[in-house]
Amino acid sequence: MSAVGAPGGRAVDPAGAHNYATEWAQAVRRLGFVPMSAADTERLLLSYTLRLAEALLHADEVAPVAAEVGQALVEAHLTEPDMIEWSVRSLADRLPDQVLGGSTGLDDRIAVAQGALAAGFARALRDRTFAQQERIARSAWQARDDVERALRDSEARFRAVFRGAAIGIGIADVDGQIIDVNQPFADMLGYSIEEMRQLNVTALFHHDDAPGMWELYGELIEGKHESARVEKRYYRKDGTSVWTDLAVSLIRHDDGRPRFTIAVAEDITQRYELQRRLRFQALHDPLTELPNRTLFFETLSRLLSASGRVGVCFLDLDGFKAINDSLGHDVGDRLLMTIARRLAGCVAEYGYLVARMGGDEFVILVDGDAGVDNMIAVAELALTAVSAPVFIDDHQLMVSASVGIVASDLVGTSAAELMKAADTTLYWAKAEGRGRWAVYDPERSARDIARSTLLAGLPVALDRDEFVLHYQPIVSLLDGRMLAVEALVRWQHPELGLIGPDRFIGLAEETGLIVRLGEWVLRQACRDARRWHVDFPEARLVVSVNLAARQADAPVIVDTVADALSSSGLPAELLQLELTESAVMGSGGEPLRTLYRLAELGVRLAVDDFGTGYSNLAYLRRLPITCLKLAAPFVEGIRGDEPDAADHRDERIVDALVRLAHALELWVTAEAVETEPQAERLRALRCDSAQGRLFGPPAPAAAISTRLAGG
Amino acid sequence: MQQPDGAPIEIDLSRPSAARVYDYFLGGAHNFEVDRQLADQIAAMTPNLPATMRAGREFLRRAVRVLLDAGIDQFLDIGSGIPTVGNVHEVAQAANPQARVVYVDIDPVAVAHSRQLLAGNESTGVIHADLRDPQRILAETRALHLLDFDRPLGILLAGVVHFVPDADRPGDILATLRAAAAPGSHLVISHSTFEDQPQEMLDAQRLSARTSTEITLRSRAEITSFFGDWTILEPGVVHMELWRPDSPSDVAADAQRFGAFGAVARNDDVAG
pLDDT tens by residue, A262-313:
999 998 888 888 888 888 888 999 999 999 999 999 988 888 888 768 899 9
Residue A468 identity: V
Query: Tens digits of per-residue pLDDT, A379-424?
Result: 999 999 999 999 988 888 888 999 999 987 777 778 888 888 999 9
B54-266 belongs to CATH 3.40.50.150: yes
Interchain contact, B20 vs A136, CB within 8 Å: yes
Are A628 and A666 in contact, with CB atoms under 8 Å apart? yes
What are the extents of the domains in chain B? 54-266
Q: Where are the alpha helices (DSSP H) in A484-555?
A: 505-511, 514-535, 549-553
Q: Output phi, psi for A233, to 5 deg.
A: -100, 140
Residue A80 touches partner B, C-beta closer than 8 Å: yes
| Domain boundaries of chain A, sorted by first residue | 7-134, 165-273, 284-440, 456-708
A132:B84 CB<8 A: yes
CATH (residue range A165-273)? 3.30.450.20
pLDDT band at residue A335 using 50, 70 and 90 as cut-offs = very high
Q: What does the alpha-carbon distance between residue B57 and residue B23 come to, in Å, rounded to a whole number?
A: 11
Cis peptide before A14 (omega within 30 of 0): no
- Do B113 and A136 lie within an 8 Å CB cutoff? yes
A153 at B interface, C-beta within 8 A: no
Question: What average pLDDT does range A425-441 have in this prediction?
Answer: 90
Distance in Å, alpha carbon of B171 to nearest chain A alpha carbon: 31
B8: chain A residues, CB-CB within 8 Å: 147
> B30 — contact with chain A (CB < 8 Å)?
yes
Q: Residue A570: pLDDT above 90?
A: yes
Q: Distance (Å, rounded) from C-alpha A134 to C-alpha B136?
A: 31
Q: Is pLDDT above 80 for A6?
A: no
User: DSSP class of residue A283?
Assistant: H
Q: Among A641, A643, A672, A637, which residue's Cα sits nearest to residue A655?
A: A637
Interface A-B: count of C-beta contacts within 8 A: 92
pLDDT at position B170, please?
95
What is the distance between the terminal CA atoms of chain A, rounded to a whole angstrom? 167
Q: Which of A652, A661, A600 shows the shortest CA–CA distance to A629? A: A661
Top CATH class of A7-134 equals mainly alpha
Q: What is the pLDDT of residues A523-544, one digit of tens each?
A: 999 999 999 999 999 999 999 9
Contact (CB, 8 A) for A316 and A402? yes
8 Å CB contact of B82 and A136: yes
Candidates B82, B85, B90: best to mutate against A (most CBs of A within 10 A) is B85
Query: What is the length of chain B?
Result: 272
A456-708 to CATH, choices 3.30.465.10, 3.30.1600.10, 3.20.20.450, 3.40.50.720: 3.20.20.450
ipTM: 0.82
Q: What is the mean predicted confidence (pLDDT) over A324-343?
A: 91
What integer pLDDT is reported at residue A323 of this predicted model?
A: 87
Residue A521 C-beta-side C-alpha neighbours within 13 Å: 29
Q: B97: distance to nearest CA of chain A, Å?
A: 18
Quick one: residue B53, left, alpha or beta (phi over 0 = left, psi -120 to 50 = alpha)? alpha
What pLDDT band is residue A582 in, cutting at 50, 70 and 90? confident
- CA distances in angstroms from A40 to A18, A22, A26, B70, B98, listed in the order given: 13, 11, 12, 20, 21
Q: Residue A551 in contact with residue A561, Cβ under 8 Å?
A: no
Q: Across the interface, do A154 and B32 touch by the CB < 8 Å criterion?
A: no
Q: Where are the beta strands (DSSP E) in A236-359?
A: 241-252, 258-267, 310-317, 353-358
Report the range of poorest mean pLDDT among A49-58, B176-185, B203-212: B203-212
Cα of B2 vs its chain's centroid, Å? 24
- Helices (H) then strands (E): counts for chain A: 28, 22
**Which strands form A401-407's sheet, in the order they lie side by side?**
A353-358, A361-367, A310-317, A401-407, A437-439
**Element spanning B92, H or E:** helix B88-95
More confident residue, A363 or A368: A363
Instruction: Tell me if the domain spanning A284-440 has CATH number 3.30.70.270.
Output: yes
Lowest mean pLDDT among A111-120, A563-572, B112-121: B112-121
